[in-house]
Amino acid sequence: MTSLPDLTELQIRRYARHIVLAEVGGVGQARLIAARVLVVGAGGLGAPLLQYLAAAGVGTLGVVDDDNVDLSNLQRQIIHRTADIGTAKVESAKRALGDINPEVRVRAHSERLAAGNVERLIADYDIVADGSDNFTTRYLLNDACYRLKKVLVSAAILRFDGQISTYKAWQGPGHPCLRCIFPAAPSEDAVPSCAQAGVLGALAGTLGSLQASEVVKEILGIGRSLSGRLLMYDALSATFDEMAIAKRADCPTCGAA
Ligand SMILES: [Zn+2]
């Protein structure tokens, strides 16, 4: 076995099932511990995503959300408990993540991500994972992550369908961004929300878990990135589909790259 840099005895035991993986090892685990990931949204996607990243030992986890826990969230947002109703989601999530892994530093950002704060919020992190529920946030993150050269792992769910991709268009040819697929955000009333159209609770678990896997892969630099591909999951038919995404020369965000 290779040496285990900077890992304590307790860390070697806690992360033993990672360390034994040839693709992770002690070096990879140390990299996870040194990583800083910002999760936008402590909702359906953020719940499994945050819990798996904390369990994996990702050393610094930021959580952005300005909502309080509501009774109607509990059907899918499994990081929150009934007793948390009425408390800020970032505080509820911070408590849950501390219970899972006290070694993780959780930074609660109790604010709504907007044009005026997006760059400040993402600046301190290496990777951003978007688990938000609206197009405004999704496009703000796409553009800001491109400008600040952050890897963005973005997922979305509605009804029984989910999709996920990774954007790092600043890395050049072969790496498209969200605007290479859809140049402009649809108006918010053109697409129904989960509140209007519904969403299968466990679907959030599937997509949020996929996001966690992709974030870990990006931190470690292992496997095949989802950059350049859109992965789609249909829970009703139990099928995955994949679409290749090309970089657009006239993309309003990354076209000049
Ligand atoms: Zn683009």
pTM comes to 0.96
pLDDT in tens, 161-205: 999 999 999 999 999 999 999 998 887 777 888 888 899 999 999
Task: Check pLDDT > 70 for residue 3.
Answer: no
Q: Which of 145, 180, 194, 251 does the annotation list as catalytic?
A: 194
CA distance 89 to 86: 9
Q: How far apart are the first and last CA of the chain?
A: 42
| C-alpha 220 – ligand 1 centre gap (Å) | 24
Q: Are 194 and 155 in contact (CB under 8 A)?
A: no
The yes-or-no answer on residue 177 being catalytic is no
The mean predicted confidence, pLDDT, of the chain is: 95
| C-alpha 252 – ligand 1 centre gap (Å) | 7
pLDDT in tens, 44-57: 999 999 999 999 99
CA distance 68 to 90: 8
| C-alpha 181 – ligand 1 centre gap (Å) | 7
| C-alpha 157 – ligand 1 centre gap (Å) | 22
